[in-house]
Structure 1
Amino acid sequence: MSSRWVDIPADDGGRFQGYLAVPAAGSGPGILLLQEIFGVNAHIRAVADLYAEEGYVVLAPDLFWRQEARVSLGYDEAGAARARELRAGLDVERAVADSVAALSALRRLPECRGKVGALGFCLGGRLAYQVAARTHVDAAVSYYGTGLDPLLGEAAAIRCPMVFHFPELDRHIPPQTREAIAAAFAGRSDVETFVYPGADHGFNVPERASFDKPASLMAHSRSLALFRRVMGPSYDLPALWERHTELEFATRDARATMATMVAEPYVNHIPTMTGGVGHDQLLRFYANHFIPKTPKDTRLVPISRTVGVDRLVDEMLFCFTHDIEIDWMLPGVKPTGRYVEIPLVAIVRFRGDKLYNEHIYWDQASVLVQIGLLDPQGLPVAGAETARKLVDEALPSNTLMARWQESAADTGS
C-alpha cells in the first residue's frame, strides 16, 4: 500500500488535509476514517494502512484543523491533556460538516471506485453515526462512540447497515446507553451491536493500557465483514491458500511462498511454537527449517473447510513417514522411519489478497505415540486412532475411559 497527505476543500472556504492510504491494487472502495480526540495520530494512520491492506482507499481527515493543523498526539498524560483541550474547543457541528466535505473529496479521488463507508473511534465513532444519519454512506462502523445519547432521535435517518462496538467496562458508554442505542435500532437486522466482555474504552489502541488484543481482532473481523458484504472487494481465499500450500509442499520454493503473504506475516505452529514473525524470520524458517525438513511423502487429506470474511479454517489429515528430522514438528528427534497420520487444523488469516498469519494445531502426543517416543499405556492419549476416527465416526468412542463400561447399567446401553 502507499500513503500521502491530500488537500480537502471545506464547505465554508479554506482547505484542510487528510491522510490517504491506497491499496497495492491502486484502487478500491472507500472508507472515511474519523479520528479520536488525539488527532490523526500514529494509531489512526495505522488503522488507515490496515484497511488499505484489506483493499480499501482510506481517507482520515484532520478534524482539528480549525484549531491546529495536523494534530498527532500520544496517549501519555501530556497528550491526553492536550487532546481534552482540543475536544473542548471543537465545534462538533463544524466537524460533521468537515467530515462530509472529506467524504465528498474521497468520492472524487480517482483511486476511490465503488461504494464508500464510514469508520470512527471515540469522537470519530460519534461522527461516523452523524455522517451516516445526515448524508449517504453505504455502511458505517462506530467504535466506542461517545455522546450518542442526545443523537438517538436521528437513528431513523440512518438507512445503511451499521455496526457498533462497545467495551463492557467503558464508563463513557454505560449499560443503559448501550441498551438505548440497541433499542433505537430494534427491528433492524442490518444494524448490529457488540459488547466486548472485560474490555474498556480505547481497546483497539496498542499504545493504551486498555488495549485488548482479542477484542481488537474480533472487532476488526466484524467490521470487515460488514464492509466486505456491502462494499466488497471480495477475494477467493481458498484459491489463495491452495496456491500457498502448493508452493510449500509441491514446488518447495520458500521465496515464492513468501510472495503469497503480506510484507510482515507470521506463522505459529502451536504445539511446538515454531514458525516466524516478520518477513526475514519467516523466510529463514521456510527456507531452512520447514520446506526442506518436511518429508517428501507428506499428504494433506482434506476433511472440512470453513471460509469466513478474513480467514479460512482447514481440518485435514496430515500424513507422512518420519524419514527426516522434522525441525518444525519434532525438533531434535532423529528419524524413526515410522508412518504417522494425525488430525491437523490450520487457521489462516488474510489481509486483502495476501496471507497474514497461520495458526497450526495438532495433537503432539499422538505424534509421539506413533513414532515410539511416548508409551500410551496408562495415559489418556492415542496414536493413529485419532486420525482414523476422524474419518470413520463409527469406530469406538470412549476407549480411554475406564469407567465407560460402568455407566452402561445406568443408561441401559
Structure 2
Amino acid sequence: MKGRYINIPVASGEQFQAYLAISVDGRGPGLVLCQEIFGVNQTMREVADLLAEEGYTVLVPDLYWRQERGIELGYTEADFPRALALYEGFDEGLGVEDIQASIRALKGLDECTGAGIGVVGYCLGGKLAYLAGCRLPEVACAVGYYGVGIEHALAEAENLQGRLVLHLAELDAFCPANARAAIVEGLGRMAGVELYVYPGVDHAFARPQGDHFNKSAALLAHERTIAALRRAIGPDYNLSALWEEHIRHEFDTRDVPATMATMVAEPYVNHIPTMTGGVGYRDLSRFYRYHFVHNNPKDMELTPISRTVGASQVVDEFIMSFTHDCEIDWLLPGVAPTGKRVEIPMLGVVKFRGPKLYHEHIYWDQASVLVQIGLLDPAGLPVAGRETAQKLLDESLPSNTLMPSWASSADKPR
C-alpha cells in the first residue's frame, strides 16, 4: 500500500474513510475511484496506486460505510454472498452523495490540482461513475467499467455535462446483450460519449489475477480511459520530449543510470524479432549496461521518419543505420562483426505511465538485417535488404519487385 487513509466529512457530521494515493508528481488532477461490490480491498488500492502513477491524485471512498465500515472482501466463493448482500442493500443515491463529499475533500487537498474532477468505477462503481457524471456538474469525466444496471438509468444521461466512457464486456451476464443494446441505443449518439464493447471477455475482465482477467482488453481499456481523462482534466505531459530524453541517454550520453531514471520503477523492453530486453528494473538495468547502451557501433544513427503522439504512448517510425563492426547482442546476438553497412526501418511503440516510460516494443525486419550482413541469401525468397530502408525514404522507388506475378497484371483492366 503506497497511499494512506483520510476521513471524509458528510453533512450529518459523520465521517467515513477513503484511501488516498498521491500523484507521482506530488500534485495532480483529482480522481474519485469507486469500488466493486467487494469494498475498498487490495485490488482497489492497487488500481488507485496505478492511477497515481499516471499523474492523478486518487481518492477511493468506503461507499459501504453506512452499512458496515472497512469492508475488504476477496473474490472467493465464501466472500461472494456477503458482497452480494451488501450490494443489494446499497443505496445508490446516498452513494452518489458520498462521491460528492469525496470530490469536495479532493478539491481541498493541496495535492489536487485543477477544477475538473474525474470519476472512475468498476462493477457497482461503474454504474456509480455513470450516475455521478449525470448528477454532479463538477465531474468532467466519468469512466465506468462493466457497470451493472446502467440500462435502467439512461434517462439521466440528458444531464451529462462532461465526458463519459463506458467499457462493456460481450460475455457479461450482469449486462447481457439486450442491456448493452439499450445502452448503445440510448447513449451512442451523444456528444462526448465513448462506448466500447470488448469481444470475448467477461465481467471483471480488467481485474488482475481475476478469473476473467483479459490482459489485452484490460490494457486497451486502460489506454482509452487515460486518453479520455487527459482530454478532460489533464495532466498534459510532453511525451515526445520525454522520449527524446530517454533516447539521448541510450545513444548519445550512453548513461545507464540516466536512462533508467526516465522509466517507471519496474519497466520492460521487448525487441520483438530477437526477444531481447528485460522485465523489471534489475534485469533491464543489467541488459542496458552490458548488452545495449555500451554494445552499439559508434556510428549508429537514427533517422526519424514519423512520430505519432497519443495520450499515453508514442509510436516512432525511423531508420537505424550502422556499420556492423562489433557484436550487437540485442540485434544480432552471437553473430561476429562482418563490417557490413546496415540500414533498417524500425518501429517503436513506447508506453508511458504519467511522466515515466513504462515499456518499449521495438519492431524491425530481421530478414532484411540478415540479408545485409550476408547471412541470408535473398535469391528466390520474398525478402529484401537495404532497399526496404531506401524505399521508406523515397517512395518513388519501384514497388512489387518481389512479386513474380506483378508484370502479368500490367494490361488488365483497372
Question: How far apart are the structure 1 equivalents of 2:91 and 2:315?
Answer: 47
Q: Is the 8 A contact 2:154 2:187 kept in 1?
A: no
Q: Which of the residues 345, 357, 360 maps onto 1:358?
A: 360
Q: Please say which of residues 367-376 and 36-45 is displaced more in the overlay.
A: 36-45
Q: Is the 8 A contact 1:311 1:350 kept in 2?
A: yes
**Identity rate, percent:** 57
Structure 1 residues 247-284: Cα deviation after superposition (integer angstroms, max 9, x where no partner): 00000011100000111111000001110111111100
Q: Is the 8 A contact 2:145 2:167 kept in 1?
A: yes
Q: Is the 8 A contact 1:2 1:23 kept in 2?
A: no
Check if 1:45 corresponds to 2:50.
Answer: no
Misfit runs of 4+, over 3 Å: none
1:236 deviates by 0.7
Pairs within 5 Å for 1:156-171: 156-171=158-173
Question: How far apart are the structure 1 equivalents of 2:160 and 2:330?
Answer: 52
Check if 1:65 corresponds to 2:65.
Answer: yes
1:2 deviates by 4.8
**Which amino acid in structure 1 is aligned with residue 191 of structure 2?**
S
Match of 2:83 in 1: 83
**Which amino acid in structure 1 is aligned with residue 311 of structure 2?**
V
Q: TM (normalized to structure 1)? A: 0.96
Pairs within 5 Å for 1:86-105: 86-105=86-105
Q: Is the 8 A contact 1:11 1:97 kept in 2?
A: no
**Matched residue SS, 1:358:** strand
Q: Is the 8 A contact 1:2 1:24 kept in 2?
A: no
Check if 1:276 corresponds to 2:274.
Answer: no
Pairs within 5 Å for 1:193-232: 193-232=195-234
Pairs within 5 Å for 1:183-332: 183-185=185-187, 187-332=189-334
1:156 deviates by 0.9
Pairs within 5 Å for 1:336-375: 336-375=338-377
**Which amino acid in structure 2 is aligned with residue 118 of structure 1?**
V
Match of 1:9 in 2: 9
Question: How far apart are the structure 2 equivalents of 1:191 and 1:99?
Answer: 21
Question: How far apart are the structure 1 equivalents of 2:187 and 2:111?
Answer: 34
Q: Please say which of residues 351-360 and 182-191 is displaced more in the overlay.
A: 182-191
Check if 1:390 corresponds to 2:375.
Answer: no
Q: TM (normalized to structure 2)? A: 0.96
Q: Please say which of residues 300-309 and 22-31 is displaced more in the overlay.
A: 22-31
Q: Is the 8 A contact 1:336 1:371 kept in 2?
A: yes
**Which amino acid in structure 2 is aligned with residue 128 of structure 1?**
A
Q: Can you give the 5+ residue segments of structure 1 that lack an aligned partner in the other structure?
A: none
Match of 1:403 in 2: 405
Q: Is the 8 A contact 2:151 2:180 kept in 1?
A: no
**Which amino acid in structure 1 is aligned with residue 109 of structure 2?**
L
Question: How far apart are the structure 2 equivalents of 1:11 and 1:151?
Answer: 26
**Matched residue SS, 2:410:** helix
Check if 1:124 corresponds to 2:125.
Answer: yes
**Matched residue SS, 1:150:** helix
1:186 deviates by 5.1
1:179 deviates by 2.6
**Matched residue SS, 1:337:** coil
1:80 deviates by 2.2
Match of 2:24 in 1: 24
Q: Please say which of residues 64-73 and 294-303 is displaced more in the overlay.
A: 64-73
**Which amino acid in structure 1 is aligned with residue 78 of structure 2?**
A
**Matched residue SS, 2:5:** strand
Q: Is the 8 A contact 2:188 2:194 kept in 1?
A: no
**Which amino acid in structure 2 is aligned with residue 300 of structure 1?**
L
Q: Please say which of residues 164-173 and 258-267 is displaced more in the overlay.
A: 164-173
Question: How far apart are the structure 2 equivalents of 1:257 and 1:111?
Answer: 28
Aligned positions, number: 412
1:132 deviates by 1.7
Q: Can you give the 5+ residue segments of structure 2 that lack an aligned partner in the other structure?
A: none
Q: Please say which of residues 142-151 and 354-363 is displaced more in the overlay.
A: 142-151
**Which amino acid in structure 2 is aligned with residue 36 of structure 1?**
E
